[in-house]
Amino acid sequence: MADNKKQKKAEEAGPTEVYDPIVRTELKRASVWIGLALLAALFIYLAQPILLIIGGIVLASMFDGGARLLGRVLPIPRGLRLAIVVLAVVGFLYWTATFAGSELTAQALALEGIIQQQVERIGIEAQAVGFAISADDFKNFSKDILSSVGRVTAVVGNALSAITNIAMMLVLAIFIAAEPRLYERGLAWLVPLSERSHFYGTAAEMGYTLRRLMAGRLLGMAVEGIGTWLLLSWAGVPMAALLGVLTGLLAFLPNIGAIISGVLIILVGFSAGVETGILAIIIYFAVQMVDGYLIVPMVAKRAVDLAPALVLGAQILFGALFGIMGLALADPIVAMLKVFLERQSERNEERDGIATERGTRQAAG
């Protein structure tokens, strides 16, 4: 009898049999984890093109917002309004590269030397006062600053790569902005029928949020860039044009951008003298106060109420993982995620309410 039981057990499905329910369950679990790992690896490997696509979507929202705004004063077809906006953007980029390119490039080459000289000077003065810090320590610190700022100023220094990325994003943004419904329907086709109305609502809310966020960001960039340029020129600060352009570009990066532009303005200002440096500090804080207390509350915070610590943390994380592109797109990505999570939360509350109402009806019946 014992031998028969042993023989019968030996004939049962072993742990290597695929049709064994236990093996199937474990294989399903393993496939989920392996799939997630492969998806994460694929996302990291394709991070740059994914960020370019997201950048194209953000630019498309800006083009669409410009066409909508232009429609308030020009009652012409949307295609013509979009063409006007795109031509205006391309014309501005062409003017910047043609007329301001040579001057900004020359100033950018001199910026690194000025920053390093100023930081070394601070180290010498600090050591003379009595701080236990050598000039070499500040020299190494200046190299760290320049290496970290190097990614941000890559638009000026590495022109070929920047122009290529901007061109790809512009082309992608033009295609998306020209026929947004076409791509929206294409994505909706991948969503189950029962979820498509929710998808369309979420997409519309994301588009509205991006348009408002980018409108506030562009207004802030224009005010900071032009204001810094004019005021620094009036104060006699060297390289006022370059500092104005960098301040305007860095205004796209809340928190981090303001810190970097402030350090650059103050260091270059003191290179021309103490009085000029003090004026540079006053100009920097005046421009930041106008942007922080007037423009941002008026436009950006009405569209997306993002906590500053959340935005700063996202910028640090995306900047460390994906470089300048991740740093620049951290704010729009967080805004879109916020809209998605809010919409999903509303959807879950609606479903819970329907389920509770059905349960109450069944109990009453």
DSSP string, 121-157: HHHHHHHHHT-S--HHHHHHHHHHHHHHHHHHTHHHH
Q: What pLDDT score was predicted for residue 37? A: 83
Q: What pLDDT score was predicted for residue 365? A: 59
Task: At 255, give phi and psi (nearest 5°).
Answer: 70, -75
Which token pair is 107? 């100033």
Give, as one character, the DSSP assignment of residue 195: G
pTM of the model: 0.69
Q: What pLDDT score was predicted for residue 323? A: 75
Domain residue extents for the chain: 47-347
Largest CA distance in the chain: 105
Residue with tokens 């012409």: 76
- The pLDDT profile of the chain, 365 residues, written as one tens digit per residue, is 555 555 554 555 555 555 667 767 777 788 888 888 887 777 777 777 888 888 888 888 888 888 888 888 888 888 888 888 888 888 877 776 676 556 666 666 666 666 666 666 666 666 666 665 555 555 555 555 555 444 444 444 445 566 777 788 888 888 888 888 888 888 888 888 878 888 888 888 888 888 888 887 888 888 888 888 888 888 888 878 778 888 887 887 766 777 888 888 887 788 777 788 888 888 888 888 877 666 666 655 555 667 777 777 887 888 777 777 787 888 888 888 888 888 888 888 877 776 676 767 667 65
Q: How many CA atoms lie within 13 A of 245 on its CB side?
A: 18
Spell out the residues 6+ positions from residue 268 whose beta carbon is closer than 8 angstroms to its own: 111, 114, 115, 118, 237, 238, 239, 243, 280
pLDDT tens column, 87-133? 888 887 777 667 655 666 666 666 666 666 666 666 666 666 666 55
Smallest Cα–Cα separation from 248: which of 238, 261, 265?
261
Q: How many CA atoms lie within 13 A of 194 on its CB side?
A: 2
11-20 core/surface letters (b: 16 or more CB in 10 A; e: else): eeeeeeeeee
Give, as one character, the DSSP assignment of residue 179: S
8 Å CB contact between 245 and 336: no
Spell out the residues 6+ positions from residue 221 whose beta carbon is closer than 8 angstroms to its own: 248, 249, 251, 252
Q: What pLDDT score was predicted for residue 99? A: 60
Rounded-to-integer distance, Cα 135 and Cα 124, Å = 5
Smallest Cα–Cα separation from 170: which of 77, 339, 52, 286?
52
pLDDT tens column, 15-24? 555 566 776 7
